[in-house]
A and B are shown apart, each in its own frame.
Chain A
């Protein structure tokens, strides 16, 4: 398994973990589950992150923000590495992260689909219950599979009429 819960929380880890996702600023990189590893050696630090999606445009910003935060904290030599495998899954979003999403009106993802063998064709919107982040009603419907960022879908609550984003299971 990956080092997303590195047991030794070094100072550099704490700084890197507090950097926020540029597209979903209610989440820190640690909440999002993209921070793999932080190693520290004197004033040299190496941060390893993983992209959410292959073409995630936020990755460049994350790297720049990590560089900036760690440099500002006094580290002279900051290297940010990107590793692909194992591939990120929404299952890696922490409980804190899920709470933060819901508090900001974004319904958190359910369990990611288990993959193995052929991927079945899905012709209907997923039937999983997605609760309205405003009123908690399970009576919500998908209005668009693709929302303002690659990782969200648009839904609306038929009980309280709230339109909201849902972070898709990946």
Chain B
């Protein structure tokens, strides 16, 4: 019996890998009832927002696998991506259960970019610039940690459970990014210049993190969602502690504009998301329902 036979034997009716793990029960909790007074479509949309943030940022980070400057960094980034994609699986499964799609795989691999609800910061390409990866991860994880901490008390048990695990994980993602920011900022002339440039590049995308969409506003009132406007103080506290030690300057750049008030949460993305999805989704779209 080959290794592959043994593996598929072990799965019997659960024979799918990769897209299509065949496991519908990523967690028993995802089928929990919608809290009283909450619109299921709103909750599904909110799960897509937080799930797409994690999926898209996780995929961008995974692009460093086989490209990172050192093996240790490759392992660190791969684990960070894995944690985020794990969080995404739970959130997309919850969204699918609430009617947003058939299952997590359909949501991840069959949606076009205008149906993704992630913030733009998540989708930016690092284009092989390690400083850019670190600057994005620092801001993304500081913000997501602040959101997840506020979700610990969510009335939705799935959001609360995802947050409970996620807080532990995103806290060390942030620390990893903060340590590299310190090393690169307070490093050589070149590393300092490039770390500052990377922060400057991602800075226009930070303001979007604090905007409150209509869906979030309703869910905040219902005790389900975290208020992104409140996370600004937490992110600023991290930057105020870190940037002076790293001899870096807080960027002074205007925020990126919206399209009539619409941005990532409403499905309006930069051109970079489409390129990313073309890579991420191509195999699943060429072989729908494939098993191996």
Of A53, A68, A119, A154, which is in contact with the most chain B CB atoms at under 10 Å from its CB?
Answer: A119
Is B285 part of the contact surface with A, judged by Cβ < 8 Å? Answer: no
| Residues of A within 8 A of B (CB-CB), count | 36
> In the complex, A30 Cα to B169 Cα: how many Å?
23
Which residues from chain A contact B164 at a C-beta distance below 8 Å? 84-87
- Interface SS of chain A: helix, strand, loop or mixed? loop
Interface assignment of A148: CB less than 8 Å from any CB of chain B: yes
Question: Knowing A119-B149, A121-B175 touch, does A55 contact B23 (C-beta < 8 A)?
Answer: no
Closest Cβ of chain B: how far from A128's Cβ, in Å? 15
Within 8 A of A (CB), among B1-40: 10-12, 14, 21, 23, 25-29
Q: Which residues of A contact B161 (CB under 8 A)?
A: 84-85, 87
Which residues in A have their C-beta under 8 angstroms from that of B242?
121, 123
Asked whether any CB of chain A lies closer than 8 Å to the CB of B178, the reply is yes
List of B residues within 8 angstroms of A84 by Cβ = 27, 29, 90, 161-162, 164-165
**What residues of B have a CB within 8 angstroms of the CB of A115 in the complex?**
167-168
Residues of chain B with a CB closer than 8 A to A54's CB: 83, 86-87, 89-90, 162, 165-166, 169
List 19 additional contacts besides A54-B83, A67-B10, A123-B175; criterion CB under 8 Å: A51-B165, A53-B83, A53-B169, A54-B86, A54-B90, A55-B83, A55-B84, A64-B10, A64-B14, A67-B12, A81-B28, A85-B160, A87-B168, A119-B171, A119-B174, A121-B178, A121-B238, A123-B245, A145-B76
B contact set with A: CB distance below 8 Å: 10-12, 14, 21, 23, 25-29, 72, 75-76, 79, 81-87, 89-90, 145, 149, 157, 160-162, 164-169, 171-172, 174-176, 178-179, 182, 234, 237-238, 241-242, 245
20 CB contacts below 8 A, A to B, read: A51-B27, A53-B83, A54-B83, A54-B87, A54-B89, A54-B90, A55-B81, A65-B10, A81-B28, A82-B27, A83-B28, A84-B90, A84-B161, A85-B164, A88-B165, A118-B149, A118-B234, A122-B175, A146-B72, A147-B75
